[in-house]
């Protein structure tokens, strides 16, 4: 049985630089940072996050959870969270692997359980005690980066095993709700996908509700219950986070970034940006570039 120390070694080897590192497996990302970070808003996809070293805190509204090498994070819908690394140093960097959840594969695993009614009172953001079977499977998945010729055949099998381990764990009911087409969680997930696809355009609640198979009033009620914000507030966070990314990574000016994500008024963009990130665009980007404390999701 592989241990969390083995997972840390694998991540260290395949993520030699600070930041989020993509891999040939599109649902697997590796994250490394060498120092604690400031709180950073970001959208976390539905995913399993396993920290091999260090610790991190993420918040959704008033709810905050801390996870580390002894506790893993499960996010069931794409959520705009605020996260910051709590424990990291050059000698002991923060190391994490993020495995996005394949809902189609999950639904396939549940094909024989259609009679099970999903519960409606489950947390969409939660931490759970470390699971040796999950750690072992994660080690084998990340270990495929050393054998790229095996990825096409073995990665889907290991990802399916990870879903099975989650399904048979303490959050099995949550995963059943995620895969149930008529659950509110699944419907809100479809609404989120629609908003994320066209977040730069004017929000049309009727169209988003239709894409989720809900009435506008039902969408508003359940969307806010799950994400702690309205669809409009969710769209606003997406716009501002994308504008921040454009300025930080692409050197785009504040005015151009605001226009690119759908803002017509530079003053409104600056005002809402400051409200979310705590500083005007130019000052915030300068701080991030100086402190190097921008760490993406998980």
User: Mean of the pLDDT values across residues 212-236?
Assistant: 90
Question: Does pTM surpass 0.85?
Answer: no
DSSP E strand stretches across the chain: 19-22, 28-33, 40-44, 47-53, 55-60, 63-68, 71-75, 79-87, 94-100, 125-129
What is the rounded average pLDDT of the residues 2-8? 93
The Cα–Cα gap between 186 and 93 comes to 36
Only one residue has tokens 């219950």, namely 225
| pLDDT at 164 (0 to 100) | 92
What pLDDT, in 10s, does the model give residues 37-93?
888 888 888 899 999 999 999 998 778 999 999 999 999 888 888 899 999 999 999
pLDDT given for residue 297 in this prediction? 52
Which of left, alpha, beta for 295 (phi over 0: left; psi -120 to 50: alpha)? Answer: beta
Q: What are phi and psi of 293, to 5 degrees?
A: -110, 15
User: Which residues touch 15 (CB under 8 Å, ≥6 apart)?
Assistant: 21, 30, 31, 32, 95
Residue where the block lists tokens 């969409």: 124
pLDDT of residue 289: 75
- The pLDDT tens digits for 97-134 are 999 999 888 888 876 555 454 445 567 788 999 999 99
Q: Read off the pLDDT of residues 162-197 as tens digits, 9 standing for 90 and up.
A: 999 998 888 888 888 777 766 888 888 889 989 988
3 state DSSP class of 126: strand
Distance of CA 92 to the CA centre of its chain: 23
What's the confidence (pLDDT) of residue 117? 46
Domains of the chain and CATH, by start? 4-179 (2.60.120), 184-228 (1.10.10), 246-291 (no CATH)
Mean pLDDT, rounded, of the chain: 88
């Amino acid at each position: 049985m592989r241990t969390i120390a083995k997972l840390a070694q694998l991540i260290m080897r395949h993520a030699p630089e600070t930041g989020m590192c993509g891999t040939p497996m599109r649902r697997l990302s590796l994250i490394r940072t060498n120092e604690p970070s400031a709180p950073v808003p970001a959208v976390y996809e539905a995913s399993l996050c396993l920290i091999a070293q260090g610790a991190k805190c993420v918040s959704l509204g008033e709810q905050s959870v801390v996870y580390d090498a002894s506790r893993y994070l499960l996010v069931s819908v794409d959520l705009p969270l605020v996260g910051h690394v709590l424990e990291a140093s050059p000698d002991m960097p923060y190391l994490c692997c993020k495995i996005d959840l394949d809902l189609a594969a999950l639904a396939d695993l549940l094909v024989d359980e259609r009679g099970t009614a999903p519960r409606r009172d489950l947390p969409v953001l939660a931490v759970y005690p470390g699971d040796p079977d999950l750690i072992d499977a994660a080690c084998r998945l990340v270990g495929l980066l050393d054998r790229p010729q095996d990825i096409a055949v073995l990665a889907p099998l290991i990802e399916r095993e990870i879903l099975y381990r989650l399904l048979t764990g303490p959050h099995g009911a949550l995963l059943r709700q995620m895969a149930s087409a008529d659950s509110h969680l699944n419907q809100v997930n479809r609404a989120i996908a629609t908003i994320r696809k066209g977040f730069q355009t004017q929000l049309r609640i009727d169209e988003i509700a239709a894409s989720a198979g809900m009435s506008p009033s039902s969408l508003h009620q359940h969307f806010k219950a799950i994400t702690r914000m309205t669809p409009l507030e969710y769209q606003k966070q997406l716009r501002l986070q994308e504008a921040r990314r454009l300025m930080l990574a692409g050197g785009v000016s504040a005015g151009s970034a605001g226009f690119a994500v759908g803002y017509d008024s530079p003053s409104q963009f600056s005002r809402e940006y400051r409200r979310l990130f705590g500083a005007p665009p130019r000052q915030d980007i300068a701080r991030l570039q100086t402190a190097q404390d921008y760490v993406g999701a998980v």
